[in-house]
Structure 1
């Protein structure tokens, strides 16, 4: 089974095509793939408890593993307690490890 890591660096509140990128993750998961959505840079903004990102919540509900870059969170004064349920703080090292393991990676 193929593993996928989708890296989202765009703020979905400013970039209209982010929902489509999340949908790719959902579609891959529906096909039985191991899928991780890694939020980095402004891509971490919808990870907040207070954010209303239905598309991201839909991805979590579909079983997509969602990680938020710890450095990007700190740059935006967000801590682990600010994250919505189903989102885990992680270091960029997770991406490097996935690449080294041969995980197919898409960056948005």
Structure 2
């Protein structure tokens, strides 16, 4: 099993690339890979229910959905307005994962 950290910064309003990127994360999770999808900057808007419906499929496949708490505050989005199953993270959480040997990171 491989371990992945996929980082989405554009969100649903940045175009169809975001949907494809979440689709890639969903396929990795469905294949049994250890996947954390981190939403940062404008990407956090995708974690609001119905904003990016492909995230629900990703969560159903067992993927971890991380949302940057700093970005939420910057966009005035409350944590209780997000999809169930979201994990709010700080950059220290991200740094810890980044230091894991063999981690594969992709930023979109």
Q: What's the TM-score, normalizing by structure 1?
A: 0.91
- Segments of structure 1 that go 5 or more residues without pairing to the other structure are none
- The offset of 1:14, in angstroms, is 3.0
| 1:7 correspondence with 2:19 | no
Partners of 1:19 and 1:10 lie apart in 2 by 11
- The offset of 1:87, in angstroms, is 1.1
Q: Which runs of 4+ in 1 moved over 2 A?
A: none
Partners of 1:56 and 1:30 lie apart in 2 by 13
Aligned to 1:20: 20
Partners of 2:18 and 2:51 lie apart in 1 by 14
Question: For 1:1-108, what aligned pairs fall within 5 Å after superposition?
Answer: 1-49=1-49, 51-102=50-101, 103-108=103-108
Partners of 1:76 and 1:91 lie apart in 2 by 16
SS where residue 67 of structure 1 aligns?
Answer: strand
Q: What's the TM-score, normalizing by structure 2?
A: 0.91
Alignment RMSD: 1.3
| CA displacement, residues 32-80 of structure 1 (integer Å, 9 cap, x when unaligned) | 111010000000001124x432111111111111010000000001122
Q: Count residues with an aligned counterpart.
A: 107
SS where residue 13 of structure 1 aligns?
Answer: helix
